[in-house]
């Protein structure tokens, strides 16, 4: 028989604390997405450029970000850099680790989205008298963002869930950090983790819903 | 029915029903294995030697307990935050893991009488300028999540109102961060601090003084409702002290005079 009596009231008493943590989680996820998109656009540009150094750099970044565990990336940002004397706070290390990971995945998304747009679009733009950069900015880029939007939303939800890895680098103000601390004090593991899971689920669903509304508005013809 | 048949069937019925409820003590003896939760990044209570075998005061204590029960010991490694969850999920039978006997934990697990006592010391990064407990005010400090000293240190940081507290998941991570300078100081038991400074694996740290927290008594723990096993463990701890084995193990792993395990003026 289950050797455990549930004490749900203890978990609900801690709800305000956990909601404060949820705000910090959302904050980190949003910042890391903004950074990730900016870096991914740069990486995509590097990938398409003629310079071998830039292409090699971008490919290395994408390969490492996509093929190693996010936990390692975050751990390296805190302890790995710390070995060289660069001290990043747990918040910053988590942010940089997730942004690194996001940039890698989003760069692949953008590359795929770019391939989905036929070359004739850019050529039609040039034939109308636009410069290459104008053709890219006004014709290709909006279409590319449209195709890449839903995969990017996926990555945003993934970033929210990845913030939970911050506990390994001493992060104690986000949702997972607060939950782990409450758990370590009282050992009501099941109650606290179940409640935290529900909060993560709600946050992820809200973000997906918001993204769909934005998509409906922004991508109207 | 013949009286002898009736008597025989009653005897058979009682013999079968008497085995219906067996407690954990019986289960351990019957299974032949005692699974202990032990923390192995906490020298000298638990650590790994060069051939990666588990060694330490807690490891020897678990082996003694298994011998007293007449079974073989199985050391199950658990990091600090995992000790009690391992018991609650049935992965271990007993915790021989330097677990402080706090009231909060006693609500969930059954704690025995103390089997060891720790004093808290402040370990600091040499470049941080922390030379005593009071110097930690306003600095970045940390400890292992879920331990007695981490909870006490976090309350102290909140009371001071300045400075930052970071909980790491393992003792090894805390010392790594301390050695890199990401933490200015930490509070840990004097034994683990001295052991880690001696190994030289974490350069740049030194023990700088005592922390004014109460003496940390640690107990064995098991399920709250297993009174049979808890009574046995209590007597076992008493016998370890009586026969001189406690003093012998303390001299082997820590050195010096073994601390008194009784609190003056109150019964357990």
B52: containing domain: 21-118+217-253
- Tell me the average pLDDT across B40-66: 92
Same structural domain for residues B192 and B241?
no
- Tell me the average pLDDT across B88-108: 89
Burial of residue A26, with CB atoms counted within 10 A of its CB: 0-12 exposed, 13-18 middle, 19 or more buried: middle
DSSP B81: G
- Tell me the average pLDDT across A101-114: 93
**Confidence at residue A156, expressed as pLDDT on a 0 to 100 scale:** 94
Specify if B171 maps to a domain: yes
Chain B residues closer than 8 Å to A75 by CB? none
**Confidence at residue A146, expressed as pLDDT on a 0 to 100 scale:** 87
DSSP B162: -
Task: Using pLDDT thresholds of 50, 70 and 90, give the confidence band for residue B91.
Answer: very high
Domain count of chain A? 1
Rounded Cα distance, B145 and B151, in Å: 8
Kindly report the CATH number assigned to the domain that includes residue B234. 3.40.190.10
Specify if A131 maps to a domain: no
Which three-class secondary structure string do you get for A46-114? HHHCCCHHHHHHHHHHHHHHHHCCHHHHHHHHHHHHHHCCCCCCHHHHHHHHHHHHHHHHHHHHHHHHH
pLDDT at residue B73 tops 70: yes
A12: containing domain: 8-118+150-218
Specify if A20 maps to a domain: yes
Same structural domain for residues B40 and B110?
yes
Specify if B234 maps to a domain: yes
For chains A and B, count residue pairs whose Cβ atoms are closer than 8 Å.
63
pLDDT per residue as tens digits for the range A145-203: 888 998 999 999 999 999 999 999 988 899 999 998 888 877 778 889 999 999 999 99
Same structural domain for residues B40 and B161?
no
Tally of CB atoms within 10 A around B207: 15
3-state secondary structure of B256: coil
Which three-class secondary structure string do you get for B102-144? CHHHHCCEEEEEEEEEECEEEEEEHHHCCCCCHHHCCCEEEEE
Burial of residue A149, with CB atoms counted within 10 A of its CB: 0-12 exposed, 13-18 middle, 19 or more buried: middle
Specify if B12 maps to a domain: no
Sign of CA dihedral A80, A85, A91, A93: negative
pLDDT at residue B222 tops 90: yes
pLDDT at residue A134 tops 90: no
Which domain-ending residue is among B159, B192, B210? B210
B55's enclosing H/E stretch is strand B54-55
Same structural domain for residues B88 and B132?
no
Same structural domain for residues B34 and B65?
yes
Specify if B6 maps to a domain: no
Q: Among A79, A82, A168, whose Cβ lies nearest the Cβ of B169?
A: A168
Average pLDDT, chain B: 87
Specify if B259 maps to a domain: no
Specify if A206 maps to a domain: yes
Task: Mark out chain B residues that contact chain A at CB-CB < 8 A.
Answer: 81, 84-85, 88, 90, 104-105, 107-109, 142, 145-146, 151, 165-169, 173, 176-177, 180-182, 223
pLDDT per residue as tens digits for the range B252-265: 888 777 888 888 88
Specify if A143 maps to a domain: no
Specify if B73 maps to a domain: yes
Which candidate, A116, A110, A120, places its Cα nearest to that of A145?
A: A110
Same structural domain for residues B105 and B236?
yes
Task: Using pLDDT thresholds of 50, 70 and 90, give the confidence band for residue B1.
Answer: low
Interchain proximity B85–A187, CB inside 8 Å? yes
pLDDT per residue as tens digits for the range A31-78: 999 999 999 999 998 988 888 999 999 999 999 999 999 999 999 999
Task: Using pLDDT thresholds of 50, 70 and 90, give the confidence band for residue A3.
Answer: low
Kindly report the CATH number assigned to the domain that includes residue A208. 1.10.3720.10
Same structural domain for residues B34 and B112?
yes
**Confidence at residue A198, expressed as pLDDT on a 0 to 100 scale:** 94
ipTM: 0.78
Specify if A182 maps to a domain: yes
Rounded Cα distance, A166 and A89, in Å: 11
What pTM was computed for the model? 0.79
Specify if B3 maps to a domain: no
Residue B34 near residue B93 (C-beta atoms within 8 A): yes
Specify if A3 maps to a domain: no
Domain count of chain B? 2
Retrieve residue A77's tokens. 């940002």
Rounded Cα distance, B145 and A9, in Å: 23
Instruction: Tokens 């949003």: give the residue.
Output: A30
How wide is the angle at C-alpha B162 spanned by C-alphas B136 and B214, nearest 5°? 50
How wide is the angle at C-alpha A212 spanned by C-alphas A209 and A215, nearest 5°? 150
Specify if A202 maps to a domain: yes
**Confidence at residue A1, expressed as pLDDT on a 0 to 100 scale:** 43
Same structural domain for residues B111 and B224?
yes
Which candidate, A153, A151, A178, A155, places its Cα nearest to that of A167?
A: A178
Same structural domain for residues B174 and B111?
no
Chain B residues closer than 8 Å to A168 by CB? 168-169, 173
Same structural domain for residues B69 and B181?
no
A110 vs B197 pLDDT, higher one: A110
What residues contact residue B248 under an 8 Å CB cut-off, 6+ apart?
none
Same structural domain for residues B159 and B184?
yes
Residue B193 near residue B201 (C-beta atoms within 8 A): no
Exposure letters A89-103 (e unless 16+ CB within 10 A, then b)? bbbebbbbbbbbbbb
- Tell me the average pLDDT across A123-140: 86
Average pLDDT, chain A: 89
- Tell me the average pLDDT across B25-47: 92
DSSP lists the bridge partners of residue B121 as: B188, B210
**Confidence at residue B235, expressed as pLDDT on a 0 to 100 scale:** 95
DSSP B214: P
Query: What distance in Å separates residue A155's CA from the closest CA in chain B?
Result: 27
What residues contact residue B21 under an 8 Å CB cut-off, 6+ apart?
none
Same structural domain for residues B221 and B104?
yes
- For residues B173, B176, B182, B188, the Cα torsion angle rounded to the nearest 10 degrees is 70
End-to-end CA distance of chain B: 56
Specify if B185 maps to a domain: yes
How wide is the angle at C-alpha A159 spanned by C-alphas A14 and A197, nearest 5°? 30
Specify if A124 maps to a domain: no
pLDDT at residue B15 tops 80: no
């Amino acid at each position: 028989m289950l050797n455990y009596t549930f004490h749900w009231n203890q978990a609900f008493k801690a709800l305000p604390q956990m909601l404060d943590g949820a705000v910090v989680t959302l904050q980190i996820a949003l910042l890391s997405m903004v950074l990730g998109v900016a870096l991914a656009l740069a990486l995509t540009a590097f990938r398409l450029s003629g310079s071998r150094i830039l292409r090699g750099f971008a490919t290395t970044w994408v390969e490492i970000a996509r093929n190693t565990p996010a936990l390692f990336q975050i751990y390296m940002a805190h302890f790995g850099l710390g070995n060289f004397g660069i001290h990043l706070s747990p918040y910053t290390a988590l942010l940089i680790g997730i942004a690194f990971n996001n940039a890698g995945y989003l760069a692949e998304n953008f590359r795929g989205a770019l391939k989905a747009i036929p070359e004739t679009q850019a050529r039609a733009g040039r034939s109308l008298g636009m410069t290459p950069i104008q053709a890219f900015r006004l014709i290709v880029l909006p279409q590319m963002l449209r195709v890449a939007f839903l995969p990017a939303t996926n990555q945003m939800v993934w970033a929210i869930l990845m913030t939970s890895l911050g506990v390994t680098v001493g992060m104690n103000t986000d949702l997972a950090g607060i939950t782990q601390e409450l758990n370590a004090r009282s050992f009501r593991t099941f109650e606290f983790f179940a409640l935290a899971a529900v909060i993560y689920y709600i946050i992820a669903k809200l973000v997906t819903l918001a993204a769909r509304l934005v998509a409906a508005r922004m991508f109207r013809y | 029915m013949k009286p002898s048949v009736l008597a025989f069937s009653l005897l058979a019925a009682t013999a079968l029903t008497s085995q219906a409820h067996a407690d954990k003590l019986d289960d351990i003896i019957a299974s032949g294995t005692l699974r202990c939760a032990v923390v192995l990044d906490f020298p000298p209570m638990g650590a790994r030697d060069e051939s990666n075998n588990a060694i330490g005061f807690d490891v020897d204590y678990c082996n003694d307990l298994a011998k007293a029960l007449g079974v073989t010991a199985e050391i199950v490694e658990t990091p600090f935050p995992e000790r009690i969850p391992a018991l609650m999920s049935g992965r271990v039978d007993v915790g021989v893991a330097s677990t402080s006997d706090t009231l909060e934990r006693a609500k969930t697990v059954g704690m025995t009488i103390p089997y060891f006592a720790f004093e808290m010391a402040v370990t600091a990064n040499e470049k941080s300028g922390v030379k005593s407990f009071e110097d930690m005010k306003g600095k970045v400090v940390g400890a292992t999540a879920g331990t007695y000293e981490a909870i006490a240190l976090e309350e102290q940081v909140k009371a001071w109102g300045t400075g930052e507290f970071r909980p790491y998941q393992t003792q090894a991570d805390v010392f790594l961060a301390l050695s890199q300078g990401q933490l200015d100081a930490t509070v840990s038991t004097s034994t683990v601090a001295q052991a880690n400074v001696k190994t030289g694996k974490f350069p740049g740290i030194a023990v700088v003084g005592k922390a004014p927290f109460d003496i940390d008594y640690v107990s064995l723990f098991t399920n709250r409702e297993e009174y049979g096993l808890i009574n046995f463990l209590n007597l076992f701890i008493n016998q370890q002290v009586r026969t001189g084995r406690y003093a012998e193990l303390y001299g082997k792993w820590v050195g010096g005079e073994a601390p008194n395990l009784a609190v003056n003026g109150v019964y357990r």
